[in-house]
Amino acid sequence: MLKIENLHATVDGKQILNGLTLEIPSGEVHAIMGPNGSGKSTLSYVLAGREGYEVTEGSVSLNGVDLLAMEPEERAVAGMFLAFQAPVELPGVGNANFLRTALNAIRRARGEAEIDAMQFLKLARARMKELHMPEEMLKRPVNVGFSGGEKKRNEMLQLALLAPRFAVLDETDSGLDIDALKLVSDTVNSLRGPDFSALVITHYQRLLNHIVPDRVHVLSAGRIIKSGGPELAQELEAAGYAGVQAAA
Amino acid sequence: MTAVSGTGAAAFLARYEGLRTRLPGARVAWVEALRDKAADAFRAKGFPTRRTEAWKYTDLAAVAGAAFGEPLTSVDDSPALPPATHPRAVFVDGRFRPDLSTLDGVAAQVESLGAALPRLEGRIGALARPENEPLAALNTMLFEDGLVVEVAAGAAAGTLEILSLAAESERAPAFHPRHLVRLGAGATLTIIETATGPAAARYLHNPVFEIEVAEGARLAHGRLQQEGHEGIFLSTVYAHVAAGGVYDNFTLNAGAKLARNEIHVALTGPKAEAHMNGVQMAGDGQHVDTTTSLDHAAPDCSSRQTYKTVLAGRSRGVFQGKIHVHQVAQKTDGYQMNQALLLSPDAEIDSKPQLEIYADDVKCSHGATVGELDADHLFFLRSRGIPEAQAKAMLVEAFLTEAVEAVADEPIRTALEQGVAGWWQRQGVAA
């Protein structure tokens, strides 16, 4: 499980997270909603270990291990996965090569046997079929020339192949049409189980109709101001953040 | 002021005076005249200094101030050779070694320069310009050997390897091989040239190539400069390409303490093509320089240049690229791109593209970029579990892709990929 306690973080000296506390037990999917600037993306980058996001107070542990002491690649090996809001394009890096390198890096670090190109292809093909991704997307450079929806599906392909213990989805629904939204949701739902948990960051209720969360939290000014069941998302959709912020 | 004897230009001139009557071609009038003229040019100018425009970014003071010895003369010495995948001519300290070479299977006339020199009047010295390039003057004055490769009109000569080794020795030899490559009309040839030496040996390798590509002929010339860490590599290539011919040069400039890869290409007939691509890679204490000059001297010709430089540690890279489009060269299509990736704050690149266009109907573009690894790209790869060093290697490889993909010739591309991988193994990613 992921345990965040009293997390304070700054970006460029600016305080963004102000004592955020949150527990996501194994097997559960939680959603974080909140207005722009409330710290949603900062939280996702702090969890993944991006440079420039400085934790000034508090702790984060994944299955009892201190996440903040680890390098980004060590976090991935420990089971952390961040689906990026705006995935980068990597000209010159073939998608298949990238995916297999990542998969094998994690397998190697976990003491598992690496998989060869043929095994990988078989694995990737099955997952790509589920995501309605044409196979030629393996041959192209990572995300180069991909549409917004294709980039998000490529993120989901990475999620499905790397099969992490904990996934953060940072506004994965932004810019997706309804079909792509469904594919993204199917991927996350297919991973749900006792050993998997996720934090879904979103602006919109829409995604949560497909990935039904166990808990919904409202983030405002860098802390959780309200938590509730899935119905909280509907409340927010109807009343907006202002009502919740005023009540908190 | 008197010149210090034993070092620099004075020492090379003294050696020339001493060897003059014993060098190959010593009793052949045209060879003597060629060497004397080169010696005059070298005497007048000596080693170039940074006050010379062409050498503004590469300082030869360390070469001019060093003492070099005679190349190895013993043929008993048989250094370990990497396996050959094609017919191969082997040179040790600049001398052709028939005992180490295997030349069967090349549909070309291949000889040592030492043997062929007397019949090469009008060929040796036809393209090199000792009066302009002091290192070509030094080479002309002192060359003792080299390779002569002649492909008959219409022949498909396949692939020939040239391996230049520096021997393990304390004598810090200087060698100046002179190579001649001539392709008849419609002929094709691939050359894969590797220059290498022991890690700790000091030496100067100063090769000059004169290359003639006749009408419709095609020469792919892959060069892997992987000299030892203390080696100095100063190379000058002159190539003339006739109508419809193609000269395709790819150079991996990755070894030596100081390396200059200087290429002069002239497109002399309509529809001739030049491809000049390369990768430079340098680590701590290395200086790598690629200097190209391209003459578009006929109409309807095209040229493509893509050079990528990767610098780690305290290293320095130079790219200078001049394109001269003559007035007659209408419909020229020229492209030049040079990009540098700096992996360390102590690395430095100097880049000087130069276009001189005297024709009015041409398409000529050039570009230059300098950058570091993108932090977002690196974070993305690491967030997927890829260790930092491996992620950097992937991004550097991606940076080199465009230049490597420009290599049409499969054996050259394979050799190049191995060369780049080898650099990583030796270098690590010293950021």
Q: What is the pLDDT of residues B209-224, one digit of tens each?
A: 999 999 999 999 999 9
Q: Look at strands B231-241 and B203-205 and give their pairing.
A: parallel
Q: Look at strands A90-94 and B348-357 and give their pairing.
A: unpaired
| Any B CB within 8 A of A55 CB | no
Confidence of residue B416 (pLDDT cuts 50, 70, 90): confident
CB contact under 8 A, A51 and B379: yes
> What is d(CA A8, CA A17) in angstroms, rounded to the nearest whole number?
5
In this structure, the number of other CB atoms found within 10 A of the CB of residue B79 comes to: 17
**Whole-prediction pTM value?**
0.89
Nearest CA in chain A to B375: A51
Residues 6+ apart with CB under 8 A from A205: A233, A234, A236, A237
Backbone φ and ψ of A193, nearest 5°: 175, 180
Backbone φ and ψ of B370, nearest 5°: -135, 135
CB contact under 8 A, B384 and A51: no
Q: Look at strands A141-142 and A90-94 and give their pairing.
A: antiparallel
Distance from CA of B108 to the nearest CA of A (A): 38
Give the pLDDT confidence score for residue B72 in this predicted structure: 66
CB contact under 8 A, A73 and B374: no
CA-to-CA dists, residue B259 to A36, A47, B208, B227, B248, angstroms: 54, 46, 14, 9, 21
Q: What is the ipTM of this complex?
A: 0.97
The closest alpha carbon to A16, from A35, A43, A49, belongs to A43
Tokens of A17: 């997270």
B333, B363 contact by CB (below 8 A):
yes
Task: Name residue, tokens 């903040």.
Answer: A68
pLDDT over threshold 90, residue B309 = yes
Give A44-86 pLDDT, tens digit per residue: 999 999 999 999 999 999 999 999 999 999 999 999 999 999 9
Distance from CA of A206 to the nearest CA of B (A): 27
Q: Could you tell me the domains of chain A?
A: 2-247 (3.40.50.300)
Give the pLDDT confidence score for residue A243 in this predicted structure: 77
For residue B401, list chain A residues with Cβ-Cβ distance below 8 A.
Answer: 91-92
